[in-house]
Amino acid sequence: MDLLRISDLRVDFPAEAGLVRVLDGVGLEIKKGKSLCLVGESGCGKTIVALSIMRLLLENAYVSGEIRFNGQDILLLEEAEMRKIRGREIAMIFEQPATCLNPVFTVGDQIAGAVRAHEKCSRKEARKRVIELMEMVGIPSPRRRCDQYPHEFSGGMQQRVMIAIALAFSPSLLIADEPTTSLDVTIQAQIVELLKALIVEFNTSLLLITHDLAIAAELCDSVAVMYAGEIVERGSVKEVFKNPKHPYTGALLGAISSDGFRPIKGSVPEFIRLPRGCRFHPRCSLSQDVCRHVSPKMRNGVRCHLWPEN
C-alpha cells in the first residue's frame, strides 16, 4: 500500500497579474519503507511539494488535488488534526539547519521541545530521550553537548540535531529538503550515511528533495524529475538514471557526466512567464514545432511528445 499518494496537486498564489500556478497536476507515490527523490533545478517547485505535504504553505495559497497519507486526504484535515500528524507521523529536515535552530535555546531544550510536543513526559524523561537521540545521530558527548547552544555546533552537527528532532517520534515519512547542500563534501557523505542507516533502522519512508543526483542515487529507490511545476519523468532510480527518456532528465544527468560539468543552457522559466506548449522547449535540443504549441501529457511515466517514439 502507498504510504503517500499525491494526485493532481495544484498550487496557486495570488499575484498582481492574477493567480500564478506553481504546481500543476503533480502526482507521486511512496510505498511504506521506500524512498523517492524529487530532483530538478532550483525554482522548479520541489520545496512547494514538501510544504504542501506538511501543510506549511502561506495561508494565501490555493491548493487543490489530493495528498493521501495512509489513505487519508490530509488536505481535508482540520489544522488541529494535522498538528497530530506533523512532526509525529511526517517530519521534515531543511537545507539550512542554522536558520531552523533557535539561537537562544540550548540544543537539548530544542530536541526536548519536539519530544514533549506530542507526548506528556517529565523534564527528566525528556532529557533522557534527548541524550538517546543525540547518541543515535552520532553527536559525541551528548550529556555535555545537550546544554550547549546551536552556535557551538558545526554545520554538520547542527544538521544531526535537526535529524534528531525529526526522528524524535520515528515518523513514518521523513522529508529531507536539500539536507546536505550547505555542508562540505566530507560532512555531506557522513549525513548521507547517517540518513541511510536511520531509514533502515526506523523503517521510515523518505522523500528526498535534491538537485544532487549522486545523493539521490545513493539514498533512493525511485525518482520523480520536476521541471517548472510539473513532473516530467518518473520511474525507478536504476531505470531513469541509466536510461533517461525525457530530454530534461538527460540534460540533468549530462550536466554531471564524468567528462566534466556541462551546465544546461538557459534557465528555469519564472512561473509568471511560462512558455506555451512544453515548458522545457526553449532549452530542449530536440524541440519540434508541436512542442511550441501543445503541452505534452504524461504517458508511461514521461511527459514528452517524443515518448513513446512517434
The span of 16-24, 157-165, 206-214, 299-307 binding ligand SF4 (CB under 6 A) equals 299-307
From the CB of 283, what's the least distance to ligand SF4, in Å?
A: 8
69 contributes a contact to ligand SF4 by CB under 6 A: no
From the CB of 282, what's the least distance to ligand SF4, in Å?
A: 8
268 contributes a contact to ligand SF4 by CB under 6 A: no
The three state secondary structure string of the chain is: CEEEEEEEEEEEEEECCEEEEEEEEEEEEEECCCEEEEECCCCCCHHHHHHHHHCCCCCCCEEEEEEEECCEEHHHCCHHHHHHHECCCEEEECCCHHHHCCCCCCHHHHHHHHHHHHCCCCHHHHHHHHHHHHHHCCCCCHHHHCCCCHHHCCHHHHHHHHHHHHCCCCCCEEEEECCCCCCCHHHHHHHHHHHHHHHHHHCCEEEEEECCHHHHHHHCCEEEEEECCEEEEEEEHHHHHHCCCCHHHHHHHHHCCCCCCCCCCCCCCCHHHCCCCCCCHHHCCCCCHHHHCCCCCEECCEECCCCCCC
From the CB of 141, what's the least distance to ligand SF4, in Å?
A: 52
The span of 23-31, 48-56, 263-271, 277-285 binding ligand SF4 (CB under 6 A) equals 277-285
CA distance 43 to 226: 10
Q: What angle do CA 163, 165, 170 make, to 5 degrees?
A: 85
86 contributes a contact to ligand SF4 by CB under 6 A: no
The span of 23-31, 97-105, 188-196, 278-286 binding ligand SF4 (CB under 6 A) equals 278-286
Size of the site for ligand SF4 (CB under 6 A): 13
247 contributes a contact to ligand SF4 by CB under 6 A: yes
From the CB of 10, what's the least distance to ligand SF4, in Å?
A: 20
165 contributes a contact to ligand SF4 by CB under 6 A: no
40 contributes a contact to ligand SF4 by CB under 6 A: no
- Interface residue with ligand SF4 among 94, 153, 271, 280 (CB under 6 A) is 280
266 contributes a contact to ligand SF4 by CB under 6 A: no
289 contributes a contact to ligand SF4 by CB under 6 A: no
301 contributes a contact to ligand SF4 by CB under 6 A: no
Nearer to ligand SF4, 206 or 252 (CB): 252
Q: What are phi and psi of 153, to 5 degrees?
A: -110, 145
Cis ω before 308 (30° cut-off from 0): yes
281 contributes a contact to ligand SF4 by CB under 6 A: yes
224 contributes a contact to ligand SF4 by CB under 6 A: no
286 contributes a contact to ligand SF4 by CB under 6 A: yes
CA distance 267 to 280: 10
287 contributes a contact to ligand SF4 by CB under 6 A: yes
From the CB of 241, what's the least distance to ligand SF4, in Å?
A: 18
Q: Which residues bind ligand SF4 (CB under 6 A)?
A: 247, 278, 280-281, 284, 286-288, 291, 296, 304-306
